[in-house]
Structures are given as C-alpha cells and as structure tokens.
C-alpha cells in the first residue's frame, strides 16, 4: 500500500474504531462483534507500525476505553483496570513466551544477584518457576466488586479503566455474587458478569412476542441488564458471574500488597473460592507453551457446548512476584495475554468482483478479497450469491467488508463498512452475456440466500447462461459428477477436468468412460504411471450405488439427501408397474414415464425437486447421455442401497447442523438410516428433530422459528439407543 493510501486508510480506520469503542465501552451497545472490532484494530495497528509518522493523535491504539455515561454515578477505581493484549495463533504465543523470558532475564541482570543473573535464560526462568495459569475467557461484562469487612458495598463497570459506573443495586440481584464473604476482609475483586444461552433464548422469545428488538448475543444481554436503571429488570434476568482476580486485599485492617499475601495466581483463585466467590473451574497450570496450546485447542472444540459464551483463553504468569516485576505497558499487563479463538467474522477489502458460472448455468458474483485469516483458514474469496444481494449490501469494489465463516459454510460478505469509503470505490454490474461462452443470459426468480438466512422469504433473481453447451456449465457438471459424493473418481480434479476439456477429449460426463491410456500420456502432467492410475480409477468407478448415480447427474434440486430418498423409496414410483429398478437400463426405460405425482409420493420430495426430476428425465439429450454411459459399461448397484437394520426411527425425519464431537455428520446420517429414519438437508414443519452440534448454522434458527425440537448430541444418542 502506498503511503498516501495508507494515510487515508489510517484516518478512516481511526474514526471507525473510535466510534465502535464509544459504543462498546460507553454505551454498552456494540454494533459489531469483538471479532470485527479486533480485526479492524489489528489492521490499524499494522499500518501504524509500518508508517509510525502517520499515527494520529486520536488513534485508539494504546487507549483503554472511552468516557462513561452520565446517567450512572461515576466511580473512580482504586486500582486501574487493564485490558489484556490479544494473540491469535501459536506463533504469536511462542513469541510472547520468549518475550516474557527475555524480560525476566533482563530484570535479573539489572539486579545485583550476580549468581542468578549469570545463569542462562532458560535456567533462570526455571529457577523463578516461570509457569502459566490458563483460564477460559468468559464473554460477558467486566465488573469490579468492593467489600469492606466482608460486606459487599459497591459494584462498578470497567468504564475507561480509571472511571466506571456504579451498578451496585443491579449486581446485588446476581445470586452468585456474595453479599457477605466467609471472612471479614477488605478487598476489591474483578470478574465477568454473564447471561446463560438458555436465559437469552427465554428473554428473546418474550421480546419477540412484544415486537421488541432481540439481543444479538448473551454478552449484549448481560451488559443491557446490568445497566438498567430499575434493579427489578436486572433481577428478572438470571444473570451469573465468575470472579477471577483480586486487585486489593487487607486482612484485619492491615493493608498489604496482594503479592505479599499470595505467591501465585493459583493461590489467588483458591482464596476466591474460600471467600465464597464463584470461580470458573476450567483453569490449568501450564509449564510451557505446548501445554498452553493443548489446553487452548481442547476449548476450541468445547467452547460452544457450554451455557455461557467463551471467546478465548487468558494466560497469566503464575508467580505474583514475577507479575509485579514485569509490570504494565501503557494499557496492558506484560505478564498476561488473551489468546482468542479463530474468528468467524473479520474485516477485509474487496479488491475485485468476478463472475463464475456453475453447473446449473447460474452466474455467481464472487468477491476477490485481500487475504485474511478467518475461522482458522486464509480466505481470499467470498460468494456474493447474486446481483440483488450486492444491491442489498450496497457493495462496491474497494469496500471494507465483514466476512463470516461458520463451520464448513462457504465464506460470505455479511456487512459493508461504508464509513471507511474514500470515494475511489467502483460500482459492479452483472455482465450482459456469459463471461465464458458469450451466450445470452437471463434473470430468473429465486429465493434470496441472505433473506433465507434471516428467516424471511423474499423474491430475488439470479442470472443464468442460456447456452446448455457452455464450457463452464459442462465443466462444473463434470466436476460434480466425479466428486466424492458422486462417482468418486480419484485423480479427476478441477484442473485435470479443464485440461481434458481444453484438449477436446471430454465434452460431457459420458466421455470420461471412453478415456484410454494413449489419450492421456501425451498430455502435460501425465506420465505413464499417472495415466495408468486414472484409467484404472475410471474403470473401477463404473459401478456405483443408485443414490450416488442420481446425485452425480447434477439434477437441479436433487442433492445427496433427495437422491438417497429416491434410492430407498423407489418402490413408491414403481408400485403399479411391471418395472423393477435393478440396473441402468431400467432407469433409461422407466424414469421418463414417471409423473410428478409419482415423485411426490416419496416422503421428503417437494414440488421443485419433483418438477426438476420430471423435466430432466423427459429431456432427449439427457437420455442419450445415459444410453452412452450404459454402452460404455456404467452400471448402478441397487443392492447397496442403505440396509435398515432397526426400525426405531422409522417415520422420523432428522436435520443435522453444526459439528459433532463423537462422530462425523456422515456417520450420524448412516446411524439414522440404519435405524429406519430419514435425513433432510433443510428444516420444515415436517422435520421431527434438528440435531445441533457446535457452530450450528441457519438451520438451528429456522428450527426455533418453526417450533421444531432441537436436540444435542447426547439426546440424539439416547434416541438412537432406545
């Protein structure tokens, strides 16, 4: 980035982050998640480090917070409230650990303890017992509690770290905060006030009935509850709190530093328990970064299974003496760090928008992004779905956007940060012709993805290439055909498929089965062995189960689940016929005669799928394709259709969402089918159960709206074993 561009970017980022910081720390009404805020801050920090002379006087980097609201009494904290710096990956963790060790060694060298200061760095740290306590980071509202003679006298919010707001009466309604301690000490303790996910669901359900705005997450709900002027409202919401730090402690009116009474962070947590505070039980003493990383990784998988929000882990030097020696920077402790979980939302810049053509002929605009790390992987592209979605987002090329990725969902743009515009952004326009074949295109009505995600039904339109022989359409059909869920032909990846098409060796899916070793050997990337391997893989893939065959054909609205439904219930469409579906010849002969009503007779197949099936098998060219495949030795295997071993789930339909802990989603599908149940890819009122793992997507919200029962992994296993 040129220096002049960086100057403009720094100005825009500074203004945007200061606005978000005010909403977060002052109003307690954050417009965006912590992940988005962190992403913008990291970008600004990087630019300021690259161009230090461009750092503005109002830069938020280095500041703790904003001004508190005047509606509550202002409270000056006895001990300044700091915020931990963030790290996001193992490499940053290692660098921080090395930095701590260097600082410890420097402190030793500056002392007059020559015997110790002359020791190697590692030996000195071992001598000083350089251990870390790792605690999970609760996503709630930070609160500071004061006790005199063991009696709770004041509770405050963090505010700007120096001045907070008195919310004593509201905190008294939190039952996990003791009004009297087990010992008559004077102390100031710090913790996190939070709301359970179950309580959030209950409150949002009531707010929805009243037509009130819903809380976006439990953190917002907790903050909104603590800052109610009427304590009765706070009392009506079942808030909770974990306490994790002692800022000040005096026993029998004898004031001493906490470090003089307690030698370690572990002792501090144990003392908090003895005094009667609720301390989160999930913490661990770690002796090196490998142990920290292991603890961190275990919570990446478990975090969504708790009833409270968790957004990372907090790492603290265990020794209180070393904490005191290491001290603080302008805004953060040197002895601690927040290790954030991989963000599912980050910000980046749309550098271009290009159009790709799918197997149905749909022209899909794709955002080409400045590469950014999201949910543990680097993302450089995100789907924009269609032209209407771009208009809804008010997206331009050059915009700063929020990217979302959850689980295995394709990254998508969910928000445009228009305040960061410079005036150099460019509008995007869908092409008037297919960018691949130059053929005519046409807009056709579809249901907008974004509105479906929001649980709304709103008409939208996608643009389609009308040329059935479009190179891009055929390429995507072939890629779909040979994929793992289809014919699963090893060695036929996207690049090889495109190469074979460019060489004129393959123009449709049937041509694959005509390939010979001699066709492949002259091509680039194909030595004798690789040609042999591909020809053998094609030969071995000629016979596939019926459900995989139907899926591979790429019939619109016929995905994996619909193909399985047809394969398992094919008798419904052949009941009053002399035909039996035993081989490909039977499909060629009978399926063109199947009416829409016959397809609808299979439970789980709707109008769109039935129409599409009827149209596909009525198409002469499609049937010629099947005949050619038959002549080339392609065959279906009906006997392999899923064998039902139990009938405990017969008549029940399940939808799976999120990530399972004890088995994969495919394994869960197999278990359901073996027990006689059906699996659907979408939630409807006919769905019996939605099985939700961690990171559930829009299917979870849809189930809640429709009143479909949502169960977790443990309940799912109980139903299976009944």
pLDDT (tens digit per residue) in 248-276: 898 765 555 554 678 899 999 999 999 99
Residue 407 backbone class (left: φ over 0; alpha: ψ -120 to 50; beta: rest) = left
CA atoms within 13 A on the CB side of 589: 11
State yes or no: pLDDT of 665 exceeds 60.
yes
3-class SS of residue 438: coil
Q: What is the pLDDT, as a whole number, of residue 6?
A: 93
The whole-angstrom separation of Cα 394 and Cα 390 is 6
Question: Do the beta carbons of residue 17 and residue 68 sit within 8 Å?
Answer: no
pLDDT exceeds 50 at position 318: yes
Which residues have CB under 8 Å from 709's CB, separation 6+? 688, 689, 690, 703
Active site residue 137: yes
The helix (run of H) or strand (run of E) holding residue 453 is helix 449-453
CA torsion sign for 50, 52, 53, 56 is positive
Average pLDDT, the chain: 85
According to DSSP, the β-strands at 441-447 and 459-465 are: antiparallel
DSSP bridge pairs for 689: 654, 709
Rg (CA), the chain: 31
Query: Which of 136, 89, 63, 121 is closest to 316 using CA atoms?
Result: 136
State the pLDDT confidence band at 232, using cuts at 50, 70 and 90. confident
- Assessment of whether the complete model's pTM goes beyond 0.75: no
Instruction: Name the catalytic one among 19, 45, 137, 172.
Output: 137
Rounded Cα gap, residues 69 and 355, in angstroms: 48
Q: Residue 636, Cβ neighbours under 10 Å: how many?
A: 24
Measured N-to-C along each axis, helices 218-226 and 197-209 cross at an angle, to the nearest 10 degrees, of 80
Cα–Cα dist 441/438, whole Å: 9
Which neighbouring-strand residues pair with 77?
none
Rounded distance between C-alpha atoms, residue 395 and residue 414, angstroms: 10
Say what the pLDDT of residue 359 is. 87
Compute φ and ψ for 585, nearest 5 degrees.
-55, -40
Distance, CA of 616 to CA of 556 (rounded, Å): 9
Tell me the pairing of strands 239-251 and 254-256: antiparallel
Element (H, E) at 234: helix 231-236
Give residue-wise pLDDT tens across range 470-504.
Answer: 999 999 999 999 999 999 999 999 999 999 998 88
**Do the bridges between strand 345-357 and strand 709-711 make them parallel or antiparallel, or are there none, so unpaired?**
unpaired
Among the listed residues 104, 109, 113, 160, the one whose alpha carbon sits nearest the alpha carbon of residue 132: 104
Q: Is 358 helix (H, G, I), strand (E, B) or coil?
A: coil
Q: Tokens 């005096």: give the residue.
A: 250
Which residues sit opposite 345 in a β-bridge? 404
For residue 693, what are the contacts with CB-CB under 8 A and spacing of at least 6? 656, 657, 658, 659, 660, 661, 712, 713
- The sign of the CA dihedral 690, 219, 200, 240 is positive
Confidence of residue 129 (pLDDT cuts 50, 70, 90): low
- What is the spatial distance between Cα 506 and Cα 426, in angstroms, rounded to a whole number? 39
**Tokens describing residue 276:** 């009667």
- Residue 223 burial (CB count, 10 A): 22
How far is the C-alpha of 375 from the C-alpha of 257, rounded, in Å? 41
Lowest mean pLDDT among 85-94, 563-572, 626-635: 563-572
User: Which of 177, 190, 94, 178 is closest to 138 using CA atoms?
Assistant: 190
Q: With H, G, I as helix, E, B as strand and everything else as coil, classify residue 264.
A: strand
Question: Tell me: the pLDDT tens digits for 24-51?
Answer: 655 656 667 778 888 999 899 999 999 9
Alpha-carbon distance values, 99 to 93, 103, 110, 337 (Å): 10, 6, 16, 12
Banded model confidence at residue 120, pLDDT cuts 50, 70, 90 = low
Considering only residues 21 and 140, tell me which one the structure prediction assigns the higher pLDDT.
Answer: 140
Q: In this predicted structure, what is the pLDDT of residue 451? A: 41
Measured in Å, how far apart are the chain's first and last C-alpha atoms?
A: 62
DSSP string, 392-422: HHT--BT-EEEEE--TTPPPEEEEE-GGG--
Tokens representing 684? Answer: 């409807």
In contact, 656 and 667? CB cutoff 8 Å = no
The CB-side HSE value for 685 (13 A sphere, CA atoms) comes to 1
Residue position matching structure tokens 């002399």: 578
CA dist., res. 614 & res. 558, Å (int): 12
Residues with Cβ within 8 Å of residue 667, at least 6 apart in sequence: 660
* Model pLDDT, residue 374: 82
Residues 6+ apart with CB under 8 A from 235: 173
- The confidence score (pLDDT) of residue 446 equals 64
- What distance in Å separates the CA atoms of residue 207 and residue 236, rounded to the nearest whole number? 13
d(CA 306, CA 684): 27
């Amino acid at each position: 980035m040129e220096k002049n561009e960086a100057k403009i970017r720094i100005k825009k980022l500074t203004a945007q982050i200061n606005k978000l910081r005010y909403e977060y720390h002052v109003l307690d009404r954050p417009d965006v998640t912590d992940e988005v805020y962190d992403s913008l801050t990291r970008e600004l920090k990087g630019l300021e480090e690259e161009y230090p002379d461009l750092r503005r006087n109002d830069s938020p980097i280095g500041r703790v917070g904003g001004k508190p609201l005047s509606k509550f009494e202002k409270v000056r904290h006895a001990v300044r409230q700091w915020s931990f710096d963030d790290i996001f990956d193992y490499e940053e963790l290692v660098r921080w650990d090395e930095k701590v060790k260097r600082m410890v060694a420097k402190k030793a060298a500056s002392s007059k303890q020559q015997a110790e200061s002359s020791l190697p760095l590692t030996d000195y740290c071992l001598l000083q017992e350089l251990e870390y306590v790792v605690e999970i980071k609760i996503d709630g509202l930070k609160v500071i509690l004061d006790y005199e003679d063991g009696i709770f006298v004041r509770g405050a919010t963090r505010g700007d770290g120096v001045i907070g707001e008195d919310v004593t009466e509201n905190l008294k309604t939190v039952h996990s905060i003791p009004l009297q301690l087990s010992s008559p000490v004077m102390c100031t303790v710090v913790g996190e006030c939070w709301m359970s996910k179950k309580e959030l669901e209950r409150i949002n359900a009531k707010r929805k009935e009243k037509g009130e705005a819903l809380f976006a997450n439990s953190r917002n709900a907790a903050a909104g509850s603590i800052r109610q002027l009427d304590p009765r409202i706070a009392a009506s919401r079942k808030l909770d709190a974990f306490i994790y730090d002692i800022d000040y402690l005096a026993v029998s009116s004898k004031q001493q530093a906490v470090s003089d009474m307690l030698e370690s962070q572990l002792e501090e947590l144990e003392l908090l328990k003895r005094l009667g505070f609720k301390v989160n039980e999930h913490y661990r003493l770690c002796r090196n970064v490998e142990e920290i990383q292991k603890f961190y990784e275990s919570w990446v998988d478990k975090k969504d299974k708790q009833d409270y929000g968790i957004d990372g882990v907090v790492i603290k030097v265990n020794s209180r003496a070393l904490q005191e020696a290491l001290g603080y920077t302008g805004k953060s402790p040197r002895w601690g760090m927040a290790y954030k979980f991989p963000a599912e939302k980050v910000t980046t810049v749309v550098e271009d928008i290009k159009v790709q053509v799918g197997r149905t002929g749909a022209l899909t605009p794709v955002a080409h992004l400045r590469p950014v790390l999201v949910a543990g992987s680097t993302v450089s592209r995100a789907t924009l779905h269609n032209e209407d979605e771009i208009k809804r987002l008010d997206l331009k090329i050059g915009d700063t956007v929020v990217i979302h990725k959850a689980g295995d969902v394709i990254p998508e743009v969910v928000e445009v940060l228009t305040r960061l515009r410079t005036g150099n952004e460019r509008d995007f326009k869908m092409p008037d012709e297919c960018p691949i074949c130059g053929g005519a295109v046409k807009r056709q009505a579809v249901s907008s993805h974004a509105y479906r995600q929001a649980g709304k039904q709103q008409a939208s339109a996608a643009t389609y290439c009308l040329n059935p022989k479009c190179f891009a359409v055929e390429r995507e059909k072939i890629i779909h055909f040979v994929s793992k869920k289809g014919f699963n032909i090893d060695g036929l990846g996207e690049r090889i498929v495109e190469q074979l098409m460019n060489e004129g060796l393959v123009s449709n899916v049937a041509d694959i089965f005509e390939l010979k070793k001699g066709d492949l050997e002259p091509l680039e990337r194909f030595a004798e062995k690789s040609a042999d391997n591909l020809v053998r893989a094609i030969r071995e893939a000629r016979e596939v189960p019926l459900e995989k065959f139907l899926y591979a054909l790429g019939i619109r609205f016929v995905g994996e689940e619909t193909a399985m439904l047809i394969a398992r219930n094919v008798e419904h469409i052949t009941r009053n016929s002399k035909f039996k579906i035993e081989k490909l010849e039977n499909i060629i002969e009978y399926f063109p005669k199947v009416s829409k009503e016959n397809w609808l007779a299979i439970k789980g197949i709707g109008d769109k799928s039935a129409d599409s099936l009827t149209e596909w098998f009525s198409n002469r060219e499609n049937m010629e394709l099947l005949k050619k495949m038959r002549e080339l030795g392609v065959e279906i295997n009906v006997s392999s259709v899923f064998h039902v071993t139990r009938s405990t789930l017969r008549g029940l339909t399940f939808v799976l969402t999120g990530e399972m802990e004890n088995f994969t989603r495919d394994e869960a599908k197999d278990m359901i089918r073996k027990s006689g149940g059906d699996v659907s890819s979408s939630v409807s009122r006919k769905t019996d159960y939605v099985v939700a793992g961690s990171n559930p997507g829009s299917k979870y919200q849809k189930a809640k709206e429709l009143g479909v029962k949502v169960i977790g992994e443990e309940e799912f296993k109980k139903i299976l074993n009944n």
